[in-house]
Structure 1
Amino acid sequence: MDFLKNIKDNFQKQGVLTQIIIINVAVFLTVNIVGNVSHLNLLQYLALPIGAQVFLFKFWTLFTYMFTHAGLGHIFWNMVLFYFMSQVFFTIMGQKKLLYLYVMSGVSGGALMLILGLIFPEQFQYASLIGASAAVMGVGAVMAVYSPNYKVYLFGMFELSYKFFFLGVFVLNTIIDLSENTGGKISHIGGTLFGLIYGYYLKQGIDLFNISLKAKQKHNLKVVSRSGSYSESSASKKTSEEHTMDELLDKISKSGYDSLTKNEKDELFRLSQKK
Structure 2
Amino acid sequence: MRNSILSDLKYKVFKSGNPLYLFIAINVGVFLFLNFLLLFEFLFSYQGVVSGPVREQIIMPADPILFILKPWTLFTYMFTQQEFFHLLFNMLWLFWLGQIFLDFLNSRQFIFTYICGGLAGGLIFLLLYNFIPVFSNEAQFSFLLGASASVSAIVVGTATLLPDYTIRMLFFGNVKLKYLALVFIVLDLIGIAGANPGGSLSHLGGALFGFLYVRGLQRGSDWSRAFAKKRRKKPIMRVVPKEETPPNKPAHRVPDQEYIDTILDKISQYGYDKLTKEEKEALFKASKQDQN
Is TM more than 0.5 here?
yes
Show the counterpart of 2:34.
31
1-side partners of 2:267 and 2:111: how far apart?
A: 25
Show the counterpart of 2:181.
166
Instruction: Give the one of 181, 184, 192 matched to 2:207.
Output: 192
Q: CA deviation at 1:241?
A: 5.5
Deviations 1:210-248 (A, max 9, x none): 1499xxxxxxxxxxxxxxxxx999699457666666664
Q: Kindly report which structure 2 residues correspond to 1:147-226, keeping only aligned pairs within 5 A, or say none.
A: 147-155=162-170, 158-172=173-187, 174-178=188-192, 179-211=194-226
Secondary structure, counterpart of 1:210 in structure 2: helix
2-side partners of 1:128 and 1:93: how far apart?
A: 33
Q: Does 1:21 align with 2:24?
A: yes
One-letter code of the match for 2:189? I
- Evaluate the alpha carbon distance shift between residue 131 and residue 36 of structure 1 in structure 2; reply closer, same or farther with a 3 A threshold: same
Q: What is the RMSD of the two structures over their aligned residues, measured on CA atoms?
A: 3.0
Q: Kindly report which structure 2 residues correspond to 1:1-275, keeping only aligned pairs within 5 A, or say none.
A: 10=11, 11-14=13-16, 15-38=18-41, 39=47, 40=50, 41=52, 42-120=54-132, 121-155=136-170, 158-172=173-187, 174-178=188-192, 179-211=194-226, 237=259, 248=271
1-side partners of 2:58 and 2:269: how far apart?
A: 41
Secondary structure, counterpart of 2:225 in structure 1: coil
1-side partners of 2:166 and 2:104: how far apart?
A: 13
Secondary structure, counterpart of 2:108 in structure 1: coil
Q: Report if the CA contact (8 A) 1:117-1:125 is conserved.
A: no
2-side partners of 1:107 and 1:243: how far apart?
A: 27
Q: CA deviation at 1:198?
A: 0.3
2-side partners of 1:93 and 1:100: how far apart?
A: 11
2-side partners of 1:201 and 1:250: how far apart?
A: 21
Deviations 1:8-27 (A, max 9, x none): 97542142111101100110
Structure with max Cα Rg: 2
Q: CA deviation at 1:83?
A: 0.7
Q: Which runs of 5+ in 1 are unaligned?
A: 1-5, 214-230, 252-275
Q: Report if the CA contact (8 A) 2:104-2:269 is conserved.
A: no
Show the counterpart of 1:3.
none
- Evaluate the alpha carbon distance shift between residue 78 and residue 247 of structure 1 in structure 2; reply closer, same or farther with a 3 A threshold: closer
2-side partners of 1:158 and 1:9: how far apart?
A: 34
Q: How many residues align?
A: 228
- Evaluate the alpha carbon distance shift between residue 236 and residue 47 of structure 1 in structure 2; reply closer, same or farther with a 3 A threshold: closer
Q: CA deviation at 1:59?
A: 0.7
Counting helix residues as a fraction of each chain, which structure ranks higher? Answer: 2
Q: CA deviation at 1:154?
A: 1.6
Higher relative contact order structure (alpha carbons within 8 Å, sequence separation ≥ 6):
1
Show the counterpart of 2:239.
none
Secondary structure, counterpart of 1:166 in structure 2: helix
One-letter code of the match for 1:200? R
